Chain A
């Protein structure tokens, strides 16, 4: 028994150092040099060079002059980037159906007509989904254009410019990028 125990301790110590210290540090070093932007979180800075977020993480846009992203069920607050997670509500749970009903109602009140894309009223798995489908962006165009006092065509053109077509996924839009483009457009017009 003594011999296997000694061997186990030695082999464990050795492999733990290799896989638990050397390997992650090597990846940190190489990724930091080869992909510095990605390795540090794909963070983007605003005009004053302060970090405004990550292109990979959604944010909680609630103002009427912004496109809103997916509902988020992260703990404490929506789009909590230090505690991710989904609602885990089952498909027949009355709470889920109540939530969806409420969100549909809110969109209707904001002037959204027609069928509502599911991704706009159902919470993402991570609670940090940065994307919405193209349809989910397009249904918001009239309301956002009105809040910004911009022509609908211009806002729609912005959406189309931000749309990414991904094979076997469909066409989707990064909400943070879209809203930033919208802000830039607003500045050109001397307002929002």
Chain B
């Protein structure tokens, strides 16, 4: 194996992040225009107006936070019912050349919740269990709609934070429509064709027999594009983006990592534009970037150091178990960091087989609440929860009334921010505690087994969807507890942040005085990083010590 070149890889990673930032800035301008203006002129505008006529609404018909929440819950509820039904009925429906049968009800329940909540945790193997119709009209649809829901919530939260003396935060139907028509659909179309040019398949052919091999086919590129762009992450194939038909080249791999970060990276800047102070957007972006860079560096270094237990057997090079040759260490580390910093959960290498500390990085990124860019929309509103907590604690420490954007942070805001920040952690600790008391589903012995279990509930509670996939999550406990974790982990923070936004929208803003704590300064950005690490660290340090850290010590000690 050609040994990786850390300096060249660091430079390439820096260039990659520069490209992401360079694309996010102008893209944020576009997103801002999409959501702040009236209906646009020309053909897109006519289509948009037709949609509003069809469903009977107009952009002026705005709601308070309760109405907005009700609308998005009803909309997601219908998505769940339709997908659940489709999974149970797929055997009798068309576009099923493989003749696959129905999902069993528990798996169908888990999968439907999983895709509606933007988690895309998968206990089934796509190419074995899902018909082409399910992949297209079921999973791809939810990839779009769950992402659109996330963007809509983020935009509504931004409105609540920046508006004054009103109880209105937007029209969910309009926000969701615009998210799909103006943002996700055009980008997905371009990305799908770009990926197809690299070798991602896109057909409705039956599987092909080639000698002893039977090769699964399907409409992959169209789903691949939105699975990344919408930070969904559910693979067409069981091996997800490690499969050559989902991710055929080093270039497609970088395109995919870029697509994962694009929308979440743009949203802080959208917020900056909405507040009229780009510095505010940059401050939040800087928080994300700092944690991302540290995480990438840690993962890369851990994998570069390799697995000495394998080295002793006369094997040279980094550990290649679960990795693909064509991505290289850089591509693998960038992808693993990006997919767990956001709520994507697609994988181009099996996280279960990463070295102990290398595997701890994705786990930690998920446990921190997916605020490092984060999910499409959910990343922004979750980090806003952390920002509110950071403002509050800083306010207590320097003895000033905590204010954010000129508005007082009071009891309601703090309650909602704490719900947002702590819900996933509580779910992880409770459910992995119960899982540990049940007979084992772990595939690997020792501390690694604990890591598998914690990773599973971290992934589901934070709507990531990646796994230490050796874990056998097919039983009824994981199906039901998982569905609960995904639903509560998705909607409790979302509703709490909408409530926070509703409360903030009603306030008047006081112009900043000499004693106001600036939330757009580098000092505040560093402070927020500290708060995020503190909350995550205090909650999960014991688990990390007993899982990955213990395994690392065993590994370097020679088991």
Stretch at the interface among B5-13, B32-40, B385-393: B5-13
B165-211 contacts to A (CB < 8 Å): 173, 176-177, 180, 185, 188-189, 192-193, 196-205, 207-211
Question: Within 8 Å CB of B354, what residues of A?
Answer: 91
Q: Mark contacts of A76-87 with chain B using CB atoms, 8 A cut-off: 1 yes-contact digit, 0 otherwise.
A: 010111111111
What residue in chain B is nearest A164 (Cβ atoms)?
B326
CB distance from A110 to the nearest CB of B (A): 14
Cβ A84 vs Cβ B243 within 8 A? yes
Is B307 part of the contact surface with A, judged by Cβ < 8 Å?
A: yes
Chain A residues positioned under 8 Å from B216 (CB to CB)? 81-83
Contact assessment for A126 and B197 in the assembled complex, using a CB-CB cutoff below 8 Å: no
Find residues 104-139 in chain A having any chain B CB closer than 8 Å to their own CB. 104, 115-119, 121-136
Chain A residues with CB under 8 A of B215: 41, 43, 53-54, 57, 81-82
Determine whether A149 belongs to the interface, using a CB cutoff of 8 Å to chain B.
no
- B298 interface hit (Cβ, 8 Å): no
Taking the complex as formed, is A150 at the interface, i.e. its CB lies under 8 A from any CB of chain B?
Answer: no
Interface contact B325-A168, CB-CB below 8 Å: no
Contact between A92 and B185, CB atoms less than 8 A apart:
no
* Contact A91/B1 with A24-B136, A41-B217 known, Cβ cut-off 8 Å: no
User: Is A157 engaged at the interface, CB distance under 8 Å to the other chain?
Assistant: no
Question: Across the interface, do A126 and B203 meet the contact criterion of CB distance under 8 Å?
Answer: no
Q: CA–CA, A42 to B217, complex, Å?
A: 11
B353 contacts which of A42, A70, A82, A91 (Cβ < 8 Å)?
A: A91
The contact of B208 among A51, A126, A128, A167, by CB within 8 Å, is A51
Partner of B319, one of A39, A122, A131: A122
Within the complex, the shortest CB–CB distance from B298 to chain A, in Å, comes to 16
Q: Kindly provide the distance from the CB of A38 to the nearest chain B CB, expressed in whole angstroms.
A: 5
Which residues of A sit under 8 angstroms from B492, Cβ to Cβ?
A: none
Determine whether the beta carbon of A93 is less than 8 Å from that of B242: no
Docked-complex contact B213 and A117, CB < 8 angstroms: no
> Chain A's nearest CB lies how many Å from the CB of B163?
22
When distances are taken between beta carbons in the complex, the residues of chain B under 8 Å from A16 are 82, 137, 141, 145
Tell me, rounded to whole Å, the shortest Cβ–Cβ distance linking B546 to chain A.
14
Q: Mark B384-423, 1 if CB is under 8 A from A, else 0.
A: 0000000000000000000000000000000000000000
A-side interface size class: 35 or more
List of A residues within 8 angstroms of B144 by Cβ: 15, 19
Contact of A7 among B8, B71, B196 (CB under 8 A): B71
- Known contacts: A38-B198, A168-B328. The answer to whether A83 contacts B213 by CB under 8 A is no
A40 located at the interface, meaning its Cβ lies under 8 Å from any Cβ of chain B in the complex? yes
Question: Does A172 have its Cβ within 8 Å of any Cβ on chain B?
Answer: yes
Chain B contacts with A in 128-181, Cβ cutoff 8 A: 128, 136-138, 140-141, 144-145, 148, 173, 176-177, 180
Asked if A20 meets B348 with Cβ closer than 8 Å, knowing A8-B78, A39-B201, A82-B216, the reply is: no
* Contact of B239 with A86 in the complex, beta carbons under 8 Å: yes
**B239–A119 contact, CB under 8 A?**
no
| Tally of A-B Cβ pairs under 8 angstroms | 366
Greatest chain A CB density within 10 A among B77, B176, B180, B202 is at: B202
Q: Is B59 an interface residue (CB 8 A)?
A: no
Q: Does B256 contact A (CB under 8 A)?
A: no
Tell yes or no: B349 within 8 A of A by CB: yes
Contact B189–A88 (Cβ < 8 Å): no
Interface residues of B in 3-28 (CB under 8 A from A): 4-5, 8-9, 12
Q: State whether A20 touches B138 (Cβ < 8 A).
A: yes
The answer, yes or no, to whether B515 is at the interface (CB within 8 Å) is: no
**A171: contacting residue among B2, B188, B444, CB under 8 A:** B2
* Stretch from B49-57, B279-287, B475-483, B520-528 forming part of the interface with A: B49-57
> Among the listed B2, B12, B242, B314, which residue makes an inter-chain contact with A124, where contact means beta carbons less than 8 Å apart?
B242
Can you pick out 8 interface pairs between chain A and chain B where the beta carbons lie within 8 Å of each other?
A10-B54, A15-B180, A27-B192, A27-B222, A38-B201, A88-B470, A93-B444, A169-B330
A-B residue pairs, 10 tightest by C-beta: A170-B2, A88-B470, A169-B328, A125-B242, A84-B239, A90-B448, A20-B137, A115-B316, A20-B141, A90-B444
Residues of A whose CB lies within 8 Å of any CB of B are 3-12, 14-16, 18-21, 23-24, 26-28, 30-32, 34-35, 38-43, 51-54, 56-57, 59-60, 70, 77, 79-94, 96-97, 100-101, 104, 115-119, 121-136, 166-172
| Additional pairs, 14, CB under 8 Å, beyond known A91-B319, A124-B323 | A15-B145, A20-B141, A21-B137, A24-B140, A27-B219, A56-B248, A82-B216, A85-B238, A88-B443, A91-B321, A96-B310, A117-B316, A133-B317, A167-B250
